[in-house]
Each structure stands twice: as C-alpha cells, then as structure tokens.
Chains A and B, each alone.
Chain A
Amino acid sequence: MSRILLLGNQNSGKSTLFNALTGLNSKVANFPGVTVEAKIGQITRLGGERVDVVDLPGTYSLIPASEEEELTVRAIFGQIAGLNKHSLIVVVIDSTELRRGLYLYSQIIELGFKAIIALSMVDQQPMLAEQHNISLLQKAVGTYVVPISANDKNSITRLKTTIDSILAGALRPQIKEQPLLFEELSESLQEKLSYMGSNIPHVLPEQAQNSVDLIRNHNIYLYRLVRGSRLKLREEHIGHLRLNADQRHELDRLIASTPEHRFARVDRWLKDLKNGPDTSRAKSDLVDKFLLHPFLGSLFLLILFVFLLQSMFLLAQPIADWLAEMLSSAGHAVGDILPADSMIRSLVVEGIFEGVGSILAFLPLIALLFLFVGMLEDSGYLARATYLLDATLKRFGLCGRSLTPMLSGFACAVPAILSTRTIGDRKVRLITLLVLPFLTCSARLPIFGLIVGALFSTYPALFGFLDMGALIFLLMYALGLGASLLAAAILAKLMRSSESQNLSIELPPYRWPSLKANIKRVMDRVYLFVRDVGSVIFASTILVWSLFHFEPYTSERVGPITTPAQKLEQSYAGMIGKSIEPALQPLGLDWQVGVGVLASFLAREVFVSTMAVVYGLQAEDESDPGLKNAFKRHISPLSGLCLLIFFTLSMQCVSTLAATRRESGSILWSLLQFFMMTGSAYILAISTYFVGTMLGWA
C-alpha cells in the first residue's frame, strides 16, 4: 500500500487538511520507541487503491527540537517500524508564512525526497492563490503547488487528484535545485562526502541512491545530526567519512551558514510573486500591544485561566455525575440478574462497574481540558502565555510551556500529565510531569471537606474575620503549589536542566480556532486515555476490590461476621491497614485510617466512603454529620492536620502513576514520583505532629 506523509510547520493547517482528506477514516497510532503519536488515515485513489495518509507533528526543520519533531524526522527517514516507506511527502505551507514553509520544503528536496506543496489558508492571501502566482511558484520550486482551503471542497479534490496522478506516474515533479549544502566545500572534502557508508541510520530515498549530489547532502545532514544531542546518533554513524579536524571545522562553518543560504534561495523563489499585504499580522500586532503588556497582559492571563478552570469544573461535574448515575443504574440492573449477596454480583457491581465508573469520572474533565487547550493553541494565545510566564517558571526549573499542565493539575493530574507533550526540552518535561501531582486536584477536596468540617469548623475565626476552615483550605493549596515548585527546583538541580531551556517561540497571527478540528482532536485524546490509562485504572480497581472482599484463611475466628465494618476488618485490606498501623501511630492515627489511606490509592475521594464503612456508617458524603462526629471521636485536631498534610502531598492516585509511566516511558519515574511525594508527605506530617505535641496541641 502506498503511503504519503503530511509535513509542515506548527499551525500550518496540516491537521485541518488531514481531516478534510481522510474524514472520519483515521486513527491515532503509537510506534515502538516513541511516546508521541501520529495520526493515520486513508484516502481512496481513482482506481480504488487505498493510500495511507500520515499526519506528522509540526516542525520548522529536519533538525528536531522536541519529541514530537523527533517523530516527524524519524518517520521521514524511515526509522520507525510501521512507517518505514513513503511514496510522497505533502508539505503543507501556510500562505501567510510562505518563506518559513518553503525553508522546510527546501530541506526535503535537498535530501532527494519526492514532495509537493499544499498551500493552506489561501483565503487570507487571495492574491497568492491566483493562477499567475501559482504557476510562477511551481516553476521556481519545481513541484506542484495546490492552493487549498478547508472550506473549499474543490480544492481538496484537486489535491487528491494531484496526489493520485503523481502516485500513478502521470505527473512528475521536476525538482531541479536539490544541491545546496556542499557547494562551498573543498574538493577533497566533497570527495569524502560522496561515499555513503553501510552503517547509515536512515533509509535513502530512491533519487538519492543514484545521485552523488544527494549523497553528499545526506552525509552533511548526518554529520549535523551527530553533532546534535537529540537523536543520540554516535560518531560511528559518520565513521565512513574519516574526517580530520580541518574538514570537521570546514563542515561546521558550512552548517552554520546553511540556513542563511537556504533563505536566500527561498527569497529567489519568491521574488517574482505578487502578493497582497498580510492584514491578519497587522491586527495581531495591535492586539498584542495589550495582551503582551507586562501588567495588563499578565492580568488578562490570570483572569482567563481562572475563568477556564472554573468553566471546566462547572461544565464537567454535571456530566461526570450523570455518567456515574447512568453507570450505577446499569450496574444495579445487571446486579439484579445475578444471585443476591453472591461474590460474582459484588465483583460485577462494585468491582467492574465501579472500575468503569472511575475511568468515566475523568473523561468530561479531560475532554474539556483538551478542548480548551486546543482552542487556545489554535487561536495563537498559548504561545503568548508561554512568553509571559517563561521567566517566572524558569526560576524553578520549569518553562513557559509548563503553564498549561500546571493549571490543568488543579483540576486533575492525569490530563495535566498528558498535556506536557508540548514541552520540547526532555528534562523540563520530565520535571513538570513529576511535580504536577503535588498541585491540589479536585479529588482532594472531599477529603479536605471531611477533615476540616469535622475537626476545624468549630474553631473561632482568626483575627475575628478569617474563617479557620477556609484558611486551612487555602494553606493546603499553597502547600501543594509550594511543594511542586520546590520539588521542581530540586529536580532541576539534580538533573542539571537549567542550561537547556531558553525560550524561543514563534507568535502566530491570531486566528479563530476550528471547533470541528478540536472536537476531533479531543476524541483522539479521550480514546488514548481510555486505552492506555483506563486499562490500568480498571485493573487496579479490581485488585483493590479483591483486597476489600477477600480474607485470609484462618481457623481462629470466633463468632460470625455480621456487619460490613467487621467484614472489612477481617479482609486483606483490614490486614494491610493493621500492618501499616505502626507507621500511622506516630501521627496519632490507627489502622482504620490505614484502610482509608489504602482505599484512596485508587482515587483519593474514595477515602470518605471507606471511612464511613470503617466506622460502620451508611454515609458516603463528606458532609454527613454522623461521619463527621465519628471522625471527631476517633481523630484529634492535630492528627487531622497531619492527615491533611499527608493527603496534600502524598501520591494517592494510581491513575496518575499510570499516566506518568506512559508519558515518561519508564515505571522507574512513576516509582520516583511515588516515593518522592509519599515520603515528603509522611516526613512533613510526622514533623508537624512532633512540633504540635511539643507545643501542647495534642
């Protein structure tokens, strides 16, 4: 089957074109060795043959600067299993960023790849799309240029027809200007560059195999990649060149001047085109005077993100509640068919349906988060927000792009971790995703509500006006934020990441985001979440259910088990709770809280309903007065404060650990995250108890 790759700069309209070409006939694909995804869809040729279309992450250059760009480069060079051959590259170029897009096209043809150009967003540059200009451009670049607009179906059909004709061999791009890189080099070096060794880490395109010029360009490109660190190519990959120090120096000088020469060539291509003024840029500059203003811009950013977070909670909660109710009804309906009080009924209703419910509980929040982030990104504002906050976050080893994940972290750490993919620097991305779960997510709020409501609501207001409960809530938020920034700063020191995170970001012109394209993207993300993280959550739910419903065999039991509390005490969960009791006693807590802590590992909010069962109550809500009274009888205010600190900082969420493992590519990072968070939570809680006891608060 033939395969075509869609390549382009960020925000070039590539994904919109992909959706227009493939419709709903697409899926997100993972590839071995990379954590980012590409989308694969299909189109049908005139003869009925199916052709794979791959939507690669956007890039400015074939020298990758982020994990997403790395995937793109590796796909082009046939280094990814499942994507190792392609018949054509469609370079998507935003007509308002023609010069930049042609730079990327220039790199493609220098290496001998067969390519055509899809000129997007021509409605913003109508003069450019005129036949006279298109003919001039085609002649200059030596390939077919098809102006496209997502709203114009005819333009998409024209592009499909052009692709079909090229694949059939009826049309042939006449690319003339490939050689560029080696022209200024000495003859002796050119001689050495003419040989392509057998240990090259990439696949040579067909044209390059018979062209000395293209082989030279490939060798220079390979030399450049070995000099860089991202693809981790080794010296042996250019060993066949046998370069001496002078020749290396000569190549370095050439590589340093190549972008300038490439842009000079692009300018030659563009010199005869007649183009109108770019009005979108002028409008954007005007808006930026306000949105990038040091004070007004920062204020707008704060208001916007508070508004978005608030909207997310308001919109997502009713949907999550509705889904939970639907699932609960379905669970009970299925349960009614099964034998009453049987183990299988309990497994299905409390295990499987609860497990699915805990996955569904995240979905509305995740979907809305990705929708908002996608809209902000497509509008061009996210790049501005990155610029505004980069310097502040950099002080803590983070960067401007850490902002979106951090704000999302106040809602839920799982989508926040998934959204760290936009961070180019590997170390900064890793630090960001490791510290995100310190931020106070929505699942902690029921626990705070129970502890504060039961133990601190009767305290008098501080200074006569500061409500103690509200103050403790605020302190816990501040503690989570402070801990995440402190942990980030420490990790940055340990990883020595401070040298590699200088801001360089392009500000695209403001545009209205496409709701349709964003909804499609959200659906892809939700699918990935359910597939990768959901499966772990589901399995963990069944495991925790087993711990709570099975008990170790013993012949020493006296009398029957009659209450849920007794049953719980006898279960594996009760046994584990008792076994961790020695660790909880220094905090003034007993095994019953241990059971709650164990259950909350599945999802923090489960702590409340578990404590109700432990205390032999029917309550499942943190506002239940019976539960609050029981809590008050069993736990002192100082122990309650320690428990609050523990839950603020500890890693009590298996979904987050699963997301970290997926995004970091190793379970070791999940373990580090777990021990870093739970360890610091325990140490701070125990220190608080010690100081509190010394001060006579116990």
Chain B
Amino acid sequence: MTESSLKKMPLGSSGRISRCLAPLREDVYRLLEMGLCEGAYFTILQSGTMFQAIELSLPGSRLCIADDLANQFLAVASKGIKG
C-alpha cells in the first residue's frame, strides 16, 4: 500500500492515517487531539477546490479541515473500511 496525502485521497475513499508530517504545529496538533492521529480510520465525505477544504468522517465524528492541514497528513487507502 502506498502513502498519499490526505488531500489527494479521492472522494468517497476510506483509509487510515499513516503519518503526520508536522505534529507539533499548533493547528496540526489540535487535529491529532481531535482524533486524526496515526492509525485513525477515515472516509472522505466532501472534497473540492471551491471550499479549499475537505470533510471527513472519523469514528463517531465529522471534521472539516483546510487543504493545507490535509496536506500535513499521509494516509493509506483501504477497501471496505468505513470511518
């Protein structure tokens, strides 16, 4: 399985977070604390250029994050796993 940026994950795809590139950045760290940490399962619910942000589903919650933040997370796509 190859890693790719969370931002580049296609709409509707699921996967798990494999790595965070700048975990100590304040806004990134807040996302780690909101559950977007290594190993977290997710599904991309909305993605597009218009909002410059993505909406994703995590176990028990939904997050909207700016593209710049999404680029700070690497993920591995998986089949059959829903957030």
Contacts and interface: CB of A to CB of B under 8 A. Distances in A.
A65 interface: yes
Interface in B5-58: 20, 23-24, 26-27, 29-35, 37-40, 45-46, 48, 50-53, 55, 57
Contacts of B38: 257, 260
Interface in A314-357: none
A387 B50 CA distance: 11
Nearest to B20: A256
A228 interface: yes
B51 A96 contact: no
Contacts of A285: 45, 57, 62
A237 interface: no
A61 interface: yes
B46 A292 contact: yes
B66 A504 contact: yes
Contacts of B46: 292
Nearest to B63: A506
Contacts of A294: 48, 50-51
A618 B62 CA distance: 61
Given A103-B33, A294-B48, A294-B51, A506 B27 contact: no
A468 interface: no
A61, A288, A292, A503, most chain B CB atoms within 10 A: A503
Interface in B50-83: 50-53, 55, 57, 59-66, 68-69
A29 to B, nearest CB: 27
B39 A260 contact: yes
Contact of B64 (A65, A100, A263, A504): A504
A470 interface: no
A186 interface: no
B29 A63 contact: yes
A256 B23 contact: yes
Contacts of B59: 99
A646 B83 CA distance: 55
A448 B8 CA distance: 51
Contacts of A502: 27, 65-66, 68-69
Nearest to B64: A387
A40 B40 CA distance: 38
Contacts of A507: 55, 61-64
Interface stretch (A70-78, A136-144, A388-396): A388-396
B33 A61 contact: yes
A260 B61 contact: no
Interface in A43-100: 60-61, 63, 65, 96-100
B60 A96 contact: yes
A390 B53 contact: yes
A388 B48 CA distance: 11
Contacts of B63: 504-507
B61 A100 contact: yes
Contact of A504 (B20, B23, B48, B65): B65
A147 B24 CA distance: 36
B13 to A, nearest CB: 16
Interface in A341-379: none
Nearest to A507: B62
Contacts of B50: 294, 391
A99 B35 contact: yes
A576 interface: no
A354 B33 CA distance: 52
Contacts of B66: 390, 502-504
Interface in A499-530: 500, 502-507
A597 to B, nearest CB: 43
B32 A60 contact: no
B6 to A, nearest CB: 12
Contacts of A236: none
Contacts of A65: 26-27, 30
Contacts of A265: none
A281 B58 CA distance: 11
Interface in A190-231: 227-230
Nearest to B22: A256
Given A391-B52, A391-B53, A507-B63, A263 B24 contact: no
Given A61-B30, A294-B48, A98 B64 contact: no
A260 B16 CA distance: 13
Contacts of A390: 51-53, 66
Contacts of B39: 260
Interface string A271-292: 0000000100100110010001
Contacts of A281: 60, 62
A504 B35 contact: no
Given A103-B33, A259-B33, A504-B34, A228 B26 contact: yes
A255 interface: yes
A20 to B, nearest CB: 25
Contacts of A96: 60
A357 to B, nearest CB: 44
Nearest to A509: B62
A624 interface: no
Contact of A60 (B33, B48, B52): B33
Given A227-B24, A394-B52, 7 more contacts: A61-B30, A256-B29, A260-B32, A281-B60, A285-B45, A386-B64, A504-B63
The 3 A-B pairs of least Cβ separation, nearest first, read A256-B23, A391-B52, A259-B32
24 contacts: A99-B59, A100-B34, A100-B60, A227-B24, A230-B26, A257-B38, A260-B37, A281-B62, A285-B57, A292-B55, A294-B51, A387-B55, A387-B64, A390-B52, A390-B53, A390-B66, A502-B27, A502-B69, A503-B64, A504-B65, A504-B66, A506-B34, A506-B64, A507-B63
